[in-house]
Structure 1
Amino acid sequence: MTLSISPLGTALGAQISGVDLAADLSPAQRDAIEQALLDHQVLFFRDQPLTPNRQARFAAQFGDLHIHPIYPKVADTPQVLILDTAVTDVRDNAIWHTDVTFLPTPALGAVLAAKHVPAYGGDTLWASGIAAFEALSAPLRGLLEGLTATHDFTHSFPLERFGSTAEDLARWEAARRDHPPLSHPVVRTHPVSGRKALFVNEGFTTRIDELAPSESEALLKLLFAHATRPEFTVRWRWQANDVAFWDNRVTQHYAVDDYRPQRRVMHRATILGDAPF
């Protein structure tokens, strides 16, 4: 099978057809999808009814998979987490964020499968950190490349929302202990393409380490607003059995929380990456 690639925007995004993600990919198919990911940063596939096991198998062709410390998981496939608005508070997804930047080696990418979608609403937006960085002035780019920022697990997973029972509290305490705040470059270099991208996000980034608190707050406010300008984004309207695959190293995303009281159920497999530089 030959992939058909339809770009969706100048900054990022492409719809892919001509491949069955539930089948074992040939080396050529796997390489073509990886190249499309490098070129377009987020890929969308329609009509891909993946079981959790098949979703994990597809994702694992691109790297080792992460098991999330907080979210519910599929019982026999813990590498696939469940985002079900009828079960879990997922408000932390309704903010611009890059997944699991509280890890020393944040995710390379993620594969998100739509299992149950509302009749209307519930879109997801992605923003390109590459486009955002390249649109900054040269003096500001030069300043940012010398800075690091702190990323904190508790910023998106506060105790008051994820410690309501004794079991939840124990899980949250273990996650906080295992994931203390850490620092990453404000600008990271893609390990394959070599392109540079902004690597701060409102979900987990709390301060710029080298600056005074007031300076850090002002600069992060500017960067958060700049990074999510409409011209750097693509918006996807979900249908059941859609799959999105994004490069978490150079993007952030926002799940629009505009569909309540309708239900939305998504499954995510997260692919571990390497230390940002």
Structure 2
Amino acid sequence: MLNILVLGGTDEARRLAAALVGRPGTRVVSSLAGRVRDPKLPVGEVREGGFGGPDGLASWLVEHRVDVVVDATHPFAARMTASAAEASTRAGLPLLILRRPGWREGPGDDWRWVPSLAAAAELLPSLGERVFLTTGRRSLPVFAGLDGLWFLARSVDPPEPPMPRRVEVLLSRGPFTVEGELALMREHRVEVLVTKDSGGGMTTAKLAAARELGLPVVVVRRPAAPDGVPAVETVEAALSWLDSTTGPAAAGADDHAG
């Protein structure tokens, strides 16, 4: 039996689990951090909650006789990725990082790349007063001191304080449409958009809307992946890597579409 742990929470993780569940001689466990109150669950076996850092994850890998780990967490889940790299090394297991491609600036875009949320907060006062903040509920404390700005903060779950003094919270989950994003930005007279370079298609509509409205977009760069860890950008590539790394036990179904 080949035991695969998928560190998930993303669409790619769910599609990978769907492609692996049911393969002969394969057991797949998807792990979710538990930070979203009502997460979209993958098919197959699921565990929720943290591991207790690299030590806890390494112990869990050994205890559950895991053979290979796929880190398909969010591109900004840097702490989890670092823990996965350290724990896999301690347990002597192969690790693959599955990360969807980042976004690319195109004609008509006015993007300002920054290395961190703090750098985004520092730049904002020079770009506009009304800010559409789409960087997640845990990011609001970084912007709490910008009393001269007004924020529309969108997240899946309610954010926790501290928050900006002038903020309207919008609870919503993608995918979103360009028409909907245009209407939202016009209604709230948004002057600048702030986002992380999450990649994927579920939330790209806001970028198209900002382009159409001629708005500047502050884009936070992704954290760097650990050195020496193989990485792929698609579920299909992850499946090919698993087949080549683990051998015939991981193969079985001819359809890798997920």
Whether TM exceeds 0.5 here: the answer is no
Which of the two has greater helix per residue?
2
- Kindly indicate whether structure 1 or structure 2 has the higher relative contact order, using CA contacts under 8 Å at least 6 residues apart: 1
Which of the two has greater strand per residue?
1
Question: Taking structure 2 as the reference length, what is the TM-score of the superposition?
Answer: 0.29
Greater CA radius of gyration, 1 or 2?
Answer: 2
Question: Taking structure 1 as the reference length, what is the TM-score of the superposition?
Answer: 0.27
